[in-house]
């Protein structure tokens, strides 16, 4: 039982990374922009966050640095895609290639660096409940804040006027433009916000999840986060659910190894990627279902007057 409580705890932790990044990408896609640069932004944010924590000792400054880097890179991407009308897929890919190289380049000095040991986190009283306590209530505050973030996003998107405008930009930029909304500025804002969240997720990886810096340490989590938005049919609550599900798959490999399943570790390491492919195929199987839920202008450029 004890080991299942730990598995659940690890699942929440791993799921949080995916949830934060995927919620950010959801904001992007809701206004019609797909940012394939997620992996690159997360890597740059991971090294920025890690370096900041190493030199200042403050986790929260590390998160802030990660968010700033994510937002800055997303802004460059946004300017290219939204104002210069470049192809979204190619531009995002350029961002990922650049980010992968740049983070490795900047990070060489930090490969051996260590973050000081920090006290573990615990919600008072609740964390003492047997099994449930260690599983649910001994996490970094960000784990709980992520749930709050998802709830806020749901409220914003479906209960506020700004959220409605945002969604209308994604459904039909032409109509939103005709109604007088600054489509490009809204899109840029959403892209930057999404980048900041990807950055936060990246910093969480290098500061809390595995507190160290290794080249390419995001290991495809940015891509899995991208797949999650489709999996969730662009609904924040389902993004959260999917993120924990995939966090569980990621952690399952260690659990299976722990209980002595005799399968080469490489096959267990494939699990999250194969699970992503399988789930993507199953969800996408019904084109109608995807078409109904997908923001209509996704991946399409919009240039007023063009």
Partner 1 sequence: MLKLEARAEPSGAWTYASPLLALGLTVIVGVLMFTALGKDPLRGLEMFFWLPIKSGYPWGELLVKATPLLIIALGLAVCFRSNVWNIGAEGQYIIGAIAATGVALLADGQSSRWLVLAVMLAGVVGGMAWAGITALLRDRFNANEILVSLMLVYVAVQVLSYLVGGPWKDPMGFNFPQSKNFEAVARIPRLFDGSRVSIGVLLATAGVVGLWVFLFRTRTGFSLQVGGLAPAAARYAGFSSRRALWAALLISGGAAGLAGALEVAGPIGQLTPYVPAGYGFAAIIVAYVGRLHPIGMVLSAILMSMFYIGGEMAQSRLGLTKSLTGVFQGLLLFSLLACDTLVNYRLIWRKG
Where along the sequence are the contacts to partner 1 (CB under 8 A)? 36, 40, 76, 80, 83-87, 89-91, 93-102, 104-105, 108, 215, 219-220, 223-224, 226-227, 230, 264, 266-267, 269-270, 273-274, 276-277, 280-282, 284-285, 287, 290, 303, 306
The residue (of 7 and 271) whose beta carbon lies closer to partner 1 is: 271
Q: Give least dist CB 52 to partner 1, A.
A: 18
Phi–psi pair at 97, nearest 5 degrees? -65, -45
The residue (of 200 and 228) whose beta carbon lies closer to partner 1 is: 228
Question: In this structure, are residues 54 and 115 in contact, taking their beta carbons and an 8 Å threshold?
Answer: yes
The residue (of 148 and 306) whose beta carbon lies closer to partner 1 is: 306
Q: Give least dist CB 193 to partner 1, A.
A: 21
Question: Is residue 300 classed as helix, strand or coil in its secondary structure?
Answer: coil
The Cα angle at residue 15 between residues 300 and 249, in degrees rounded to 5:
100
Structure token digits, residue 154: 């749901």
The residue (of 71 and 82) whose beta carbon lies closer to partner 1 is: 82
Q: Give least dist CB 234 to partner 1, A.
A: 14
Q: Give least dist CB 294 to partner 1, A.
A: 11
The residue (of 276 and 297) whose beta carbon lies closer to partner 1 is: 276
Q: Give least dist CB 253 to partner 1, A.
A: 11
Q: Give least dist CB 208 to partner 1, A.
A: 23
Any idea what DSSP says for residue 79?
I
Q: Give least dist CB 287 to partner 1, A.
A: 5
Question: In this structure, are residues 229 and 29 in contact, taking their beta carbons and an 8 Å threshold?
Answer: yes
Q: Write b or e for each residue in 188-205: b if 16 or more Cβ atoms lie within 10 A of its Cβ, otherwise e.
A: bbbbbbbbbbbbbbbbbb
The residue (of 66 and 92) whose beta carbon lies closer to partner 1 is: 92
Q: Which residue has the tokens 């922009």?
A: 33
Phi–psi pair at 70, nearest 5 degrees? -60, -45
Q: Which residues contact 204 (CB under 8 A, 6 or more apart)?
A: 16, 17, 20, 49, 63, 66, 140, 142
Largest CA distance in the chain: 63
The residue (of 142 and 298) whose beta carbon lies closer to partner 1 is: 298
Cα–Cα distance for residue pair 8/136, rounded to 1 Å: 8
Cα–Cα distance for residue pair 32/168, rounded to 1 Å: 10
Structure token digits, residue 167: 């969604």
Cα–Cα distance for residue pair 117/114, rounded to 1 Å: 9
The residue (of 4 and 267) whose beta carbon lies closer to partner 1 is: 267
Question: In this structure, are residues 132 and 1 in contact, taking their beta carbons and an 8 Å threshold?
Answer: no
Q: Give least dist CB 141 to partner 1, A.
A: 31
């Amino acid at each position: 039982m004890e080991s299942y409580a730990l598995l659940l705890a690890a699942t929440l932790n791993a799921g949080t990374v995916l949830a934060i990044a995927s919620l950010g990408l959801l904001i992007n896609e809701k206004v019609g922009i797909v940012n394939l640069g997620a992996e690159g932004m997360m890597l740059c944010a991971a090294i920025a966050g890690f370096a900041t924590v190493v030199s200042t000792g403050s986790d929260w400054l590390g998160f802030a640095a990660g968010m700033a880097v994510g937002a800055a890179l997303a802004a460059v991407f946004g300017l290219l895609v939204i104002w210069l009308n470049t192809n979204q897929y190619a531009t995002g890919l350029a961002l990922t290639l650049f980010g992968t190289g740049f983070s490795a380049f900047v990070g060489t000095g930090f490969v051996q660096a260590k973050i000081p040991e920090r006290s573990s986190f615990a919600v008072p009283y609740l964390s003492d409940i047997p099994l449930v306590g260690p599983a649910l209530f001994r996490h970094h505050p960000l784990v709980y804040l992520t749930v709050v973030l998802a709830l806020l996003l749901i409220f914003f998107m479906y209960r506020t006027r700004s959220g409605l405008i945002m969604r209308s930009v994604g459904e039909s930029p032409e109509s939103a433009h005709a109604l007088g909304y600054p489509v490009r500025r809204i899109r840029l804002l959403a892209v930057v916000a999404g980048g900041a969240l990807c950055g936060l997720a990246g910093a969480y990886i290098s500061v809390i999840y595995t507190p160290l810096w290794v080249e390419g340490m995001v290991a495809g989590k940015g891509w899995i986060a991208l797949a999650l938005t489709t999996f969730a049919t662009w609904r924040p609550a389902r993004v959260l659910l999917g993120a924990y599900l995939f966090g569980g798959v990621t952690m399952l490999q260690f659990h299976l190894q722990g209980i002595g399943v005799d399968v080469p570790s490489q096959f267990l390491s494939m699990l999250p990627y194969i699970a992503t492919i399988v789930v993507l195929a199953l969800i996408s199987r019904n084109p109608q279902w995807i078409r109904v839920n997908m923001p209509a202008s996704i991946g399409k450029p919009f240039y007023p007057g063009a």
